[in-house]
Structure 1
């Protein structure tokens, strides 16, 4: 049987099945009661009824931010947010006297997932810096998604590499780099 003949046969069977299901009679009734059938069985959702999740909500399963993604730009707001994120992270990082479990728990939300895994193995008691001593300064902003911010501490100026996924995503630390001569 050719492909065309099979398609035609399939359509004929579908039409016959559809027509035979147009009416039914209940057992015990003397007359058949017609049953209304919809003209189309295809469901089309009303898109106006669907509400997208709000922007900025992190999906528990994927870890991705839901909602519209704002394009990243370098403006004063982005620069201020980058510097603030680097200073906050360096303040959380430069605490060698804090209990190691508390230190990593406080630091992890400020890190990328990869950095969180890597810094979980760092012994904070070996970090020579104990406090941030001045404002951070962006020293490399070649990309709107990555910046290097120098943050002065009592153990020299550290470089904090921060990244973001979208314009409305938070800046997260990928790496802390100590001043030259400190390992």
Structure 2
């Protein structure tokens, strides 16, 4: 019984493979190759005659034009200092603590911060900072370092564009080494 149900499946698979393989090259008639039309595409993959304006002055925008300047540094320092001050309030009720801090947080960090018990934050006073550090070619992400009454802490901040707000992506103590 098993042989009869297995045999049709094998025959069907063999027929399918034979159909996919096609006929040998020797028995196929010769075809004349025609050259495909030449299409010139720009960096975005748009080609001439495709309905896109290809004027140099109106080329597609490839991303935010973000630079590091004195204004960027002042805004990130102000945001970091405010966030650190709001974070280090262990005597504030949890809902108030989060409500005050939430507008300064990036969406992905809000979920983590929502579950922080402010009573467990070990500092209540920022004693120095922020000291800002960033990668030379990255004007969108910085680390702000602070000294507190419970040791050093860092805040990571990020912005999407030049005029977008700096948002906190993490707040953490510096590991003693």
The TM-score range, normalised by the shorter chain, is 0.5 to 0.7
Alignment partners' CA distance in 1, 2:173 and 2:91: 18
Instruction: After TM superposition, list the pairs within 5 Å mapping 1:77-92 onto structure 2.
Output: 77-92=71-86
1:152 Cα deviation from its structure 2 partner = 1.8
Residue 165 of structure 1: which of 147, 160, 165 is its match?
Answer: 160
Report Cα offsets for 1:101-156 as digits up to 9, x if no partner: 10000010010011111110111111101021223111234411100010221111
* Change beyond 3 A, Cα 1:117–1:84: same
Alignment partners' CA distance in 1, 2:173 and 2:67: 28
Q: TM-score, normalised by structure 1?
A: 0.58
SS at structure 2 position matched to 1:136: strand
Q: Counterpart of 2:116?
A: 122
Deviates more, 1:109-118 or 1:128-137: 128-137
Q: Counterpart of 2:34?
A: none
Alignment partners' CA distance in 2, 1:144 and 1:116: 23
Alignment partners' CA distance in 2, 1:131 and 1:70: 37
| Cα RMSD, aligned residues only | 1.6
Residue 153 of structure 1: which of 128, 148, 156 is its match?
Answer: 148
* Aligned 8 A contact 2:105 2:169 in 1: yes
SS at structure 2 position matched to 1:130: coil
Unaligned runs of 5+ in 2: 1-62
SS at structure 2 position matched to 1:166: coil
* Aligned 8 A contact 1:131 1:154 in 2: yes
The structure 1 segments of at least 4 consecutive aligned residues displaced by more than 4 Å after TM superposition are: none
Q: Counterpart of 1:62?
A: none
Find out whether 1:137 has 2:144 as its counterpart.
Answer: no
